Structure formats: structure tokens, C-alpha cells
């Protein structure tokens, strides 16, 4: 079964009306092609989400980065769907546990921030990685 057929089968099996599954389905449709099934990315080409999303989400510059990277800023999803997806990722595809006091992403925050996609993504990511000690 080809990749598209597998994704379509997964979507149909989950039922897009079930909110509990929507972020996972959105991940499968919008992110998994590059970041892979487990969020591990591809060394040297596509960054892993597993070790960075939660730490980046803990401070303003990191949150800003997460919402402005091209894949998020240009995703064909509503702001509410992007917020739900980021919150789902933090709780389901992160090697770093979500700490007490984790601030969930909101539709308003996503809408306000992703209007300004990033340039110089690699350089900014490197600075943020240094900040979190990666």
C-alpha cells in the first residue's frame, strides 16, 4: 500500500469528526511526510521534534520559533487546529516530559504569530538549541 493510500486509510478509519483524533490525523497529513511517523525527522535534513518542542515551548523566543517555522506558518490548517496539533505533539511525540505549568498553545497566539514566517530558520534554531543546551 502506497504512502498516500495508507494515510487516507488511517484518516477514514479514525473519522475526522472525532476531535480526540484530529491532531493525530493532522500530524499524519501535514507533518509526517517530513518529520516521520515518530517525529524523529531525518538527520541533517529535517529536525526532530522529540527533544526540542517542549523545551522551545517554555520561553517566548522558542514559542515564537515553533509557530513561525515554514511548515507551521504555512500549514493549511486553522489556527485552532495548529494549536491543538502543537499541544498534541508536546504530549505525544516528545522525549521531554511536559512540565507542570506547561502553557498550551492557543488559536489566538498561533494566529497572531504565524502571520510572520521565519527567514534564517537554521541560524535561529541553532541559537535556540544552544539556549536549551542541545
pLDDT in tens, 42-93: 998 999 999 999 999 999 999 999 999 999 999 999 999 999 999 999 999 9
Cα–Cα distance measured from residue 48 to residue 95, given in angstroms and rounded to the nearest whole number: 10
Residue 38 above 60 pLDDT? Answer: yes
Contact criterion met (CB below 8 Å) for 65 and 53: no
Q: Which three cell numbers stand for residue 15?
A: 473519522
Q: What percent of the chain has pLDDT over 90?
A: 81
Residue 11 above 80 pLDDT? Answer: no
Q: Which helix (H) or strand (E) holds 133?
A: none
Structural domain of 102: 3-132
Indicate which CATH number applies to the domain containing 28. 1.10.760.10
Question: How many structural domains comprise the chain?
Answer: 1
| Predicted local confidence at residue 134, as pLDDT | 75
Residue 57: which of 48, 67, 47 has the closest Cα?
67
Residue 21 above 80 pLDDT? Answer: no
Amino acid at each position: 500500500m502506497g504512502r498516500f493510500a495508507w494515510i487516507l486509510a488511517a484518516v477514514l478509519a479514525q473519522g475526522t469528526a472525532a476531535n480526540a483524533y484530529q491532531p493525530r490525523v493532522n500530524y499524519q497529513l501535514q507533518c509526517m511526510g517530513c518529520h516521520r511517523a515518530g517525529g524523529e525527522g531525518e538527520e541533517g535534513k529535517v529536525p526532530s521534534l522529540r527533544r526540542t518542542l517542549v523545551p522551545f515551548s517554555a520561553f517566548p523566543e522558542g514559542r515564537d520559533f515553533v509557530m513561525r517555522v515554514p511548515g507551521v506558518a504555512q500549514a493549511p490548517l486553522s489556527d485552532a487546529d495548529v494549536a491543538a496539533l502543537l499541544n498534541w505533539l508536546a504530549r505525544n511525540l516528545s522525549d521531554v516530559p511536559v512540565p507542570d505549568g506547561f502553557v498550551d498553545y492557543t488559536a489566538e497566539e498561533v494566529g497572531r504569530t504565524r502571520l510572520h514566517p521565519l527567514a534564517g530558520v537554521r541560524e535561529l534554531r541553532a541559537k535556540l538549541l544552544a539556549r536549551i543546551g542541545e
